[in-house]
Structures are given as C-alpha cells and as structure tokens.
Amino acid sequence: MDTLDTHNNKKLAQVSKEPQRLNKAQIAELEKVQSISKIIYNQFKEHKAAVIGAYTILFFVLVALSAPIVEKVMGVNAENQNVFHRYEPPFTTISAGTDTRENEVRKYIEENPESAAIVQAELIKEEFVTVSRPEDALYEWARFEKRKAMAAIRLLSIDQDIKTDLRNVAKKFEIYHLFGTDELGRDVLMRLIYGTQVSMGVGILVALSSALIGLLIGAIAGYYGGFIDTMLMRITDALLSLPTIPVLIVVAAIDLQKVPVLASLLSHGSESILKLIFILCIFSWMPVARLVRGSILTLREREFILASKTLGATDFTIITRHMFPNVIAPLLVSVTLGVGESILFEAALSFLGLGIQPPTPSWGNMLFNAQELIYRAPFLAILPGLLILFVTISFNYVGDGLQDAIDPKTIKR
C-alpha cells in the first residue's frame, strides 16, 4: 500500500512542477544517451529529503561498523558494567568499576613484569598501600580515585617511562559517558551503537531475505500462471490480511527448539536473532511477491521473452536472465521500505519481550528494559526510540526517493 501511495503522491508532485522552460544547453544535455542507473541516480538526487535520508543511513552504518574504533576513542567498553553507577545521566564522568581497573592493572603487570615489581616495591615502601602479599600492591593502588592514583605516581621515585605508563593506566580509572549509563552501568552510547548493528542488521537481512522469497514466489506465480499462480496468490492474500502483530506474537511464542530440524541450527547464542529474522521473513515477503508477479505477468507477453523462448532458453534462464533485471528497480524500492518496517517490527517484538534476548542489545529490547524506570532515567527510553525514528524515517524517505527516481513518468528527458 505504501508503494501505491508514495507512487501517486510524488508522481503528481513532479508533474505539477513540470511546466518550466529549458535552455538549449540543458536540452543538449538531456538528449545525450544516459544509462538507466545514471538517470535513476540523477533523479534520486532531486529528492532532497531522500538524499538526507541516504546520508543519515550511511552515517548510522558507518558508526555501527566502526564500533570498535568508537570504543577506543571514547575509552569505554560496551560490555563493561559498573553496578555502582547505574542510570547515570548523559555527559557524566564516573570512576570505573573495580573489575575494569583490575583488568587494566593485570594487563600492565603482564606486559611489564619488571617495572611492575619495582612499582609494587615502591608503593609498599612509601606506605601508600598496606597489603599482605607484595603482588597485590598494584591492585590496591587501583582502588584509589583517579586523582589520588595520579598523585601517588608523582610521589614515587621511579623512572619517568614507568610513570608515563602508569599514568596511562590511571587514566582508565575514569570514564566519560556521553549518553550516561544503563541499568547495569554499561555505557549507553556503546550499547546504542551495538544495538544499531543488531537492529539495522536484522532490518536489512529481513528485507533482503523476504525480497528473495517474494521474488521467487512472485516469479513462479507470474511466469507459470494457472493453478500455481492461483494457489500462491491465495496464500499471499491470506497472509496479507492477517493482523501482523498478533500473528507475530503467537509465532514468536513458539519455541523453535522444539522443532527437531531447527534445534541444531539454532543452538547458538544468536538464537533469538536468527529466530526473529526467520519469523519476520515469513510475514513480510507478500508485498514483494505481488509486485514481482505483476511485473512478470506483463513481461511474459513481451516479444523478447517470446524470442528467447523460441531460441530454446529454459524457464530458469528466462526468469533469471531476462525477467529479473526488469524487476530489480521496483524491488529495490520495496526492500528499502521493508527495512524500515522490519526495524519497527523488531522493536515491537523485543519491546514485548519476545524478540531479541539480552544481553545482546537491540533498540527494541533497550526500550523494553527502559520502560520500567522511565521516571528515573527517561533518556534510556527516549534515545533508542529516537534512533528508531531517525533510521526508519530515513529508509522511508530513501524508498520514496527511489520510487520517484524509477518512475518513468517523472523522469525528465
């Protein structure tokens, strides 16, 4: 329905803009032969909101993919929790949890055992720490506040190099949380970024795989027609008319591990993600199937298909070589719009606690976790929601733009 809707909408918008005079240079430019992808690209660029949307998506993808780099730059770790500093508001600096500190110290000791021994001896000699075993001295030092730890380093009589190293360790005793911390004291920014990977990943995968399913079913139905067509299309109609969310909830409640074949496939940690993708795919291929069937039905009657048939091409070749290229453009629109929709469905299911299971972050389950403490930490609920909104809106705009771009009626030639 979206397809139809955007289609008309933009088409008309363009048409009404049409009456403008072109100068000669422009006409010459337009008369040059252009490849179809070039035309689409140029046309797409006209749609400002779609371009902004595309850049937004690009930005999110880049950020999601560069999660490890962001982690380095921000000096945080997505999984590290700090239970004494839960629900911290955005833009706060807090001292790191003991385990984070001890890890840093252990790393230091393992890398520089000699200098560590010197420091340990010094720490005990200066009576900064009191310990039963000398090798614990550095660990005790790690319990200091950052400023105190730094001061201790300054007062120790050790090499400057070691001091610098130690300062680097001590720097990690404090962490800056751009978006604050969540219910376990984890860094919200990093969780959002990893959540982006999961949510957008699920959205894109679902859209792509359901497009594949739809392509297959639509192609078979459209090409062979007759009984096969009737049957497949009735199934499609039936699935389309079901109320999505209740169906998804019922299906999500089914434990796939009870199905013996799937049990072995799903026995890993990513089980809930795979399951979700699987379920969403089952219920989102129908619009694509309809679209493809429609295109193939008209293509079937065209001369070039008849020609290839006469030349003895197999059905498979005809469908894949000659028909698919002609449906790719509308398919692309459908996939793009599908990503937005899938993201929303993933969020809805996870929000009901039936989607992606913790600790894997996704925008939906971050919202689910946040709703209990919405009064104490509203930002925890607002941030993932905003991201869902931004990304979905971007995908919808891009889809809209693509639709305009491939619509022959709007192409200015």
Partner 1 sequence: MKSFKILLVATLVLSFTACTKKSKKREEAPAAQTTEAAPAAATTPKLNNSELKIGIGQEFENFNPLIATMNATTIMSKLAMRDLVTIDADGKWVPQLAKSIPSLENGGAKLVTIGGVKKVEAVWEIIEAAVWGDGKPVICDDFAFAIKVASAATVSIGEKEVFTQVEKVTVDPTNPKKCTFTYDKAKWDFYQLGTFHALPKHLEEKIFNMYGAENGGYEKNSLYVKDPYNVGLYNGPYLIQEIQLGDHVTFVPNPKWYGEKPKIQKIIFKLIPNSGTLEANLSSGTIDMISTLGLALDQALAFEKKVKAENLPYTVLFQPSTVYEHIDLNLDNPALKDVRVRKALSYSINRDELTQSLFEGKQSPALHSVTPKDPWYTDDPTKITIYKYSPRDAERLLDEAGWKRGPDGIRTKGGKKLSFTVMTTAGNKTRELVQVYLQNGWKQVGIEVTAKNEPARVFFGETTKKRLFDSMALFAWVSSPENNPKSTFSSTSIPSAKNGYSGQNQMGWKNKAVDKLLMDLDLEFVHEKRVAIMHQILKHYTEDVPVLPLYYRSDVAVIPTQMKGYRLTGHQFPETNEVEKWTLE
Partner 2 sequence: MPGDPVELMISANPKITAADVARLRSFYGLDQPIYERYFNWVSDIAKGELGYSRTYRIPVTEMMGPALTSTFVLSTVSLAFSLLVAIPLGILCALKPNSRVDYVVNLFNFAGISVPSFWLGIVLIIIFAVKLQWLPAGGYQTTGVEYETLMEEILDKAAYLILPVISLSIQSIGRFSRFTRSAMLEAMRNDFIRTARAKGLASNIVIWKHGFRNALIPLITVVALSISSIFSGALITETLFAYPGVGRLIYSSIIGNDFNVAMVSFIISVSMVLLMNLVADLLYGVVDPRVSYN
**CA distances from residue 239 to 222, 244, 274, 281, 410 in whole angstroms, order as listed:** 18, 9, 21, 12, 33
> Smallest gap, in angstroms, from Cβ of residue 269 to partner 1?
6
Q: Which of 106, 141, 109, 105 is nearest to 125 (CA)?
A: 141
Q: Does residue 102 interact with partner 1 by CB under 8 A?
A: yes
Q: Does residue 405 interact with partner 2 by CB under 8 A?
A: no
Q: Does residue 99 interact with partner 1 by CB under 8 A?
A: yes
- In the list 357, 379, 411, 412, the residue contacting partner 1 (rule: CB under 8 A) is 357
Q: Does residue 130 interact with partner 1 by CB under 8 A?
A: no
Which neighbouring-strand residues pair with 250?
none
C-beta of 47 vs 172, nearer to partner 2: 47
Q: Does residue 348 interact with partner 2 by CB under 8 A?
A: yes
Q: How far apart are CA 134 and CA 121, in angstroms?
A: 7
Site string for partner 2, 293-312 (x = CB under 8 A): --------------------
3-state secondary structure of 85: coil
- In the list 90, 201, 225, 358, the residue contacting partner 1 (rule: CB under 8 A) is 358
User: 372 is in the binding site of which of partner 2, partner 1, none (Cβ under 5 to 8 A by kind)?
Assistant: partner 1
Tell me, what amino acid is at 261? V
Residues contacting 326, CB < 8 A, separation 6+ = 295, 299
Q: Which of 9, 13, 4, 14 is nearest to 410 (CA)?
A: 14
User: 81 is in the binding site of which of partner 2, partner 1, none (Cβ under 5 to 8 A by kind)?
Assistant: partner 1
**Region of 31-39, 70-78, 83-91, 275-283 interacting with partner 1 (CB under 8 A):** 83-91
User: 51 is in the binding site of which of partner 2, partner 1, none (Cβ under 5 to 8 A by kind)?
Assistant: none
Q: Does residue 371 interact with partner 2 by CB under 8 A?
A: yes
User: 367 is in the binding site of which of partner 1, partner 2, none (Cβ under 5 to 8 A by kind)?
Assistant: partner 2
DSSP code, position 395: H
Q: How far apart are CA 357 and CA 350, in angstroms?
A: 8
Question: How do 174-177 and 92-95 pair as beta strands?
Answer: antiparallel
Q: Does residue 263 interact with partner 1 by CB under 8 A?
A: no
DSSP code, position 187: B
User: 16 is in the binding site of which of partner 2, partner 1, none (Cβ under 5 to 8 A by kind)?
Assistant: partner 2
- In the list 214, 287, 340, 355, the residue contacting partner 2 (rule: CB under 8 A) is 340
384-403 positions binding partner 2, by CB under 8 A: 384-385, 388-389, 392-393, 395-397, 400
Give kind and range of the element (H or E) at residue 174.
strand 174-177
Q: Which of 349, 365, 364 is nearest to 245 (CA)?
A: 349
Q: Does residue 109 interact with partner 2 by CB under 8 A?
A: no
